[in-house]
Structure 1
Amino acid sequence: MSKRQQGFTLVEVLVASVILFSVLAVVSLVYRGAITASVKATQHLKINAEARMLIVKIEQSILELSTSEINKTQQKGQVNGIEYIWKAQVIDFRSAPKKFDVDLGTFIVPPRKYKLWRVTLNLEHGGVSKELTFHQLGWNNA
Structure 2
Amino acid sequence: MKHSKGFTLIEVLIAFVILLTVVGSISFAYRSAVLSNTKAASAVEMESLLSLLMPTIRARLLMEKDLAPQTQEGILNDTVFSWQAKVVEKGSAPRQLSPEDGDWIEFPERYYLWNVTITFKRDFAEREYSFKVLTWSKL
The question of a shared fold, defined as TM-score above 0.5 by the shorter chain, is answered with yes
Residue 113 of structure 2: aligned partner: 116
1:61 is matched with which residue?
A: 60
2-side partners of 1:36 and 1:47: how far apart? 17
Unaligned regions of 5+ residues in structure 1, if any? Answer: none
Q: Is the 8 A contact 1:43 1:126 kept in 2?
A: no
Identity of aligned residues (%): 31
1:12 lines up with 2:11 in the alignment = yes
Local SS of the residue matching 1:18: helix
Whole-Å Cα distance in 2 between the matches of residues 35 and 69 of structure 1? Answer: 47
Letter of the aligned partner of 2:46 in structure 1? Answer: I
| 1:54-85 per-position Cα deviation (integer Å, ceiling 9, x unaligned) | 111111111111xx133211001111111111
CA distance, structure 2, for counterparts of residue 87 and residue 56 of structure 1? 15
Q: Which amino acid aligns with 1:17?
A: F
Question: Could you report, residue by residue, the CA deviation over 1:17-42 in whole angstroms, capped at 9, with x for unpaired residues?
Answer: 11111211111111111111111111
> What TM-score, normalized to structure 2?
0.93
Provide the secondary structure at the position in 1 that maps to 2:110.
Answer: strand
Q: Which has the higher contact order (CA 8 A, sep 6+)?
A: 1
Count of residues in correspondence between the two structures: 139
The alignment's TM-score, normalised by the length of structure 1, stands at 0.91
Query: Which residue identity lines up with residue 124 of structure 2 in the other structure?
Result: G
CA distance in 2, matches of 1:27, 1:106: 79
- Report the residue type matching 2:102 in the other structure: G
Question: Aligned with 1:14: secondary structure?
Answer: helix
On the 8 A contact 1:86/1:121 being kept in 2, the answer is yes
Gap runs ≥5 in structure 2: none
C-alpha deviation, 1:126, in angstroms:
2.2
- Deviation at 1:103? 1.1
